[in-house]
A and B are shown apart, each in its own frame.
Chain A
Amino acid sequence: MSFYRKKELPIAITAFCAILAIFAFYFKVPEAKSASTTVQTWMLVMVNFAVVVGFVMVIKMHKRRIDKRRPGDKSWLFSAWLIVVLIGYVLLGIYGVESTRTAAPTNDWTFNWVYNNGVVALDSAMYSLLAFFIASASFRAFKARTKEAGVLLISGAITMLYNAPAGSAIFGPLAQNFNDLGDWILNVPNMAGFRGIMIGAAVGAISLGIRVLTGRERGYLGAGE
């Protein structure tokens, strides 16, 4: 296989770009800084092309569902609806960009209306479904089966009362003491636990970065030679 088709060249490019970014930060060399900023600005353009991959993959997947439809099965209609809405909204966005002569398609009233009443509604509703599952899990699944689970539940219960605007009011004259307890849990054990996790995660991120730079981690380049 030719050299430029193998993974070694992209790995070398990855390492070069990373070293350029790190060098430009630590060493105050104006040319390196300018080169690094230029590469970063170009990257902002390049990353936007990645959405094309997602766009084509979704259309291919749903087109396959439509092609494989069986008699009596109506689920292919939803795939057809998805493709129509997807292409339609993209075309509306392109129209919005060209008609307003700005980079933001939401400057067009129609595109913005669909965003506010479609995207916002659906995003909010889909994520808030978890509220129901948390409520049912609290009743059915979160049982203090072990001492550790008990500590977790007590800490969670105190935090919930602490977060509820009127939660501490049930303690009457001891409300301020309860708030102090909630503050303590947040600022001492919670903070210590998450700080330890954060330091560990930073070590992991740095070691992953070194693995990518040295070519030991190649998963991001996809399958093949």
Chain B
Amino acid sequence: MSFWKKLESVDVRVIYLILWIGIGIPLLTPLYLPLSISPDTVVYHKAVEALPAGAVVAFGMDVSPAGYGGELGPQARATAYHLFTKPVKVVFLSFWETGAPLIQDVWKNVFVAKALQNKKYGEDYVNLHWIPGTETGMAAFAEDIWKTVPADYKGTKLADLPMMANIKSVNDITMLIVIETGTPGGPEYLRQWQTRNKNLKVLVGSLGVSVPANIAYIASGQYVGILRGGRGATEYQRILNIVTPTDVQGADAMTVSHAVVLVFLVLGNIGYLATKGKRGEKK
């Protein structure tokens, strides 16, 4: 059997083991590989930076646990940190029941918690927790927030949260930042919120897999900015200067994992081309 045939018939578990070892190395010792910052992340950062004092920002934590653990958690924490360093009011909410508890996990991050020391709950930020009904919930929320959400995550009535006094509908919101896993997510917000408030600026923190589709909304101006998956999160952390050794290891692991898949792709195709001629002869 030729070398390429032997390679093609290797046990698939060897491939899995190579992945475990390959990704494990940078997670154990950071390699400090270089990182460039893409224009998309710069635009996202500038959009948040340009928020005027007193602006109301809706922070849609529409994530699944898997998405949060991978790419969206770093995006959410970096974005929350950036918002809390600015004199803006933040309304946290989620249309995913799995995303709502993770709002408090974002607050626990070391950088976010430090920024929160200068903020007061109820006056600078609130957590409206989970709103059911996916797109219908978004529409109801956009029309009348007080009718849709009777209380915050601790059961405190909106009347007892000072910052909510002037936030009654989507027309009172300056910017929406949606950290999305899937549906309901950005497109649903566009359909229900931006159709009602044409001036609503929308930023999206996207999973890598959703980036190709979301770029169409960037090009049409419906989204003002986008964080492209794990790469976008890493770049944003670097711009904000909130990178930890774990984040560096994660970025290095991302590079190594892509390299491993690329090598497999190239080897597999070289093997295919090398054995293609021989397959033709056999016929």
Per-residue A-contact encoding for B14-35, CB less than 8 Å = 1, 0 else? 0110010000000000000111
> Of A37, A160, A166, which is within 8 A of B33 by CB?
A166
A81 beta carbon closer than 8 Å to chain B: no
Instruction: Contacts A123-B98, A138-B261, A165-B254 given; indicate if A179 touches B219 (C-beta within 8 A).
Output: no
Contact at A44–B137, with CB atoms within 8 Å?
A: yes
Indicate with 1 or 0, residue by residue over B38-82, a CB within 8 angstroms of chain A CB atoms.
110000000000000000000000001110111000000000000
Asked if A169 and B34 sit within 8 Å, CB to CB, the answer is: yes
Which chain A residues lie closer than 8 Å to B215 at the CB level? 186-187, 190-191, 194
Instruction: Give the number of residues in A that approach B within 8 Å (Cβ atoms).
Output: 64
Size category of the binding interface on chain B: 35 or more
B268 touches A143 (CB 8 A): yes
Q: Any chain B CB within 8 A of the CB of A223? A: no
Q: A41-B148, A138-B261, A165-B254 are in contact. Are A195 and B136 (CB under 8 A)?
A: no
Cβ distance A93 to chain B, nearest Cβ, rounded Å: 11
State the main secondary structure of chain B at its contact with A. Answer: helix
Question: Nearest residue in A to B8 (C-beta to C-beta)?
Answer: A140
Q: Is A48 an interface residue (CB 8 A)?
A: yes
* Interfacial residues of chain A within 18-71, with CB under 8 A of chain B in the complex: 21, 25, 33, 36-38, 40-41, 43-44, 47-48
Question: Binary interface profile of A, 120-159, with partner B (CB < 8 Å = 1, else 0)?
Answer: 1001101110011011101110111100000001001100
CB distance from B171 to the nearest CB of A (A): 13
Dominant secondary structure of chain A at its interface with chain B: helix
The answer to whether A44 and B131 touch across the interface, beta carbons within 8 angstroms, is: yes
- Determine the residue in chain A with the shortest Cβ distance to B215: A191
Contact B216 A40 (CB under 8 A): no
CA distance A140 to B16 in the complex (A): 13
CB distance from A54 to the nearest CB of B (A): 13
Most buried by B among A38, A139, A186: A139
Binary interface encoding of chain A residues 97-129 relative to chain B, with 1 for a CB under 8 A from any of its CBs, else 0: 000111110110000100110011001101110
List of 5 A-B pairs having minimum Cβ-Cβ separation, nearest first: A166-B33, A127-B66, A164-B258, A40-B140, A139-B264
Binding site for A on B (CB under 8 A): 8, 12, 15-16, 19, 33-36, 38-39, 64-66, 68-70, 98, 100-101, 105, 129-133, 136-137, 139-140, 143-144, 147-148, 151, 153-155, 195, 208, 211-213, 215-216, 219, 228-229, 231, 234, 251-252, 254-255, 257-262, 264-269, 272-273
